[in-house]
Homo-oligomer: A and B are copies of this chain.
Amino acid sequence: MADELYVGIDVGGTSVKIGVMTKEGDVVAKAGVPTPPLVDEAGYTAVTDGVKSMLESAGVDASLLKGIGLAVPCPVPADGNISVIANLSLNLLGVHDALQASFPGVYVGFLNDANAAAMGELWRGAGAGYNSLVLVTLGTGIGAGVVCDGKVLAGANGAAGELGHVIVNPAESRQCGCGRHGCLEQYASATGIVNSYRMECEKRGSEPVELSGPSDSRSVFEALVVGDEAARAAVDTMAGALGFELANAACSFDPEVFVLGGGVSASAEHYLDRVTEVFKKMTLSCCADTPITVASLGNDAGMLGAAYYAVANA
């Protein structure tokens, strides 16, 4: 049995994932509870009870627990000052105090979920063995996390590594969800791919394939496979924007490896070569051989990264 244990908690939109693991990141047990509104005692208790019952059912001696890390879907500044964060459905101070009261003497810390995923991939995933990486999570939107010299970049306002909102096309007329124009997210997220596909169909006067929703990029990739030209164009737009942004990110962070995660990364076979080609063409020559690879931890990345944060800071 390990002599020290750590808990990683990933607070997602639909579920809270909880894992207990060793100092080396071997998962001893994991569980999930539906995400409650984390703004009152009932919500906090759902989390603290979730941790307690998981420790119990795994037969873990609670005295071995040294730290708890939480990955949360909101910015966390580098100074860790969570009291300044206004969030209607997530009271970080409340969650912190409830966990601290339930586990006295145990370190409790927070980090942003995209940053946690990056740290998780570096620790036990596609970035294992590296000391720096940039993870770009291609989902409904785009999250990103940057690790340099083994540490996550948080930023003064928690906005470091917000690569989904780097503007890659200042000439864009359509507005991004953030209110600005031409963000990477508008082209390379699942939603962005679907939007580009619809525009390309309109331009060609062709009928789009049936889509299950506004971010059903999987159907666009399936259309591409059967020769849909509009799908090809949409995916090329995606690959061009992403390759360009990674080229600029290399001049910014110069990581050892780029990792693509999120639901869209499951279709990487359809664009990874093109992304790499654009990257090599557009980046500084000394960075042209930086590998671009696909994440390996799936939905556990944030939970693992949160636990690592506790290991590093407890």
Contact = CB atoms under 8 A, between A and B. Distances in A.
Interface of A: 75, 78, 131-132, 146, 148-149, 151, 153-163, 165-167, 170-171, 178-180, 244, 247-256, 282, 284-287, 290
A37 B282 CA distance: 33
B282 A178 contact: no
B254 A158 contact: yes
Given A151-B149, A282-B180, A251 B158 contact: no
A158 B247 CA distance: 15
Contact of A148 (B153, B167, B249, B251): B153
15 contacts: A78-B131, A78-B132, A78-B149, A146-B252, A148-B148, A155-B253, A157-B287, A161-B252, A162-B251, A162-B252, A163-B252, A165-B284, A166-B252, A171-B171, A180-B282
Nearest to A165: B251
Nearest to A161: B252
Given A149-B153, A167-B247, 4 more contacts: A75-B286, A148-B148, A153-B253, A159-B286
A255 B162 CA distance: 13
Q: Could you tell me the dominant secondary structure of chain A's interface residues?
A: loop
A251 B157 CA distance: 10
B282 A160 contact: no
Contacts of A251: 159, 162-163, 165-166
Contact of A166 (B162, B179, B180, B248): B248
Contacts of A165: 251, 284
Contact of A160 (B166, B179, B248, B252): B252
Contact of A284 (B151, B153, B154, B159): B159
Contacts of A156: 132, 254-256, 287, 290
B159 A254 contact: yes
A237 to B, nearest CB: 13
A53 to B, nearest CB: 36
Nearest to A257: B156
Q: Which 5 A-B pairs have the closest CB atoms?
A: A155-B254, A159-B254, A160-B254, A162-B251, A156-B256
Contacts of A287: 156-157, 159
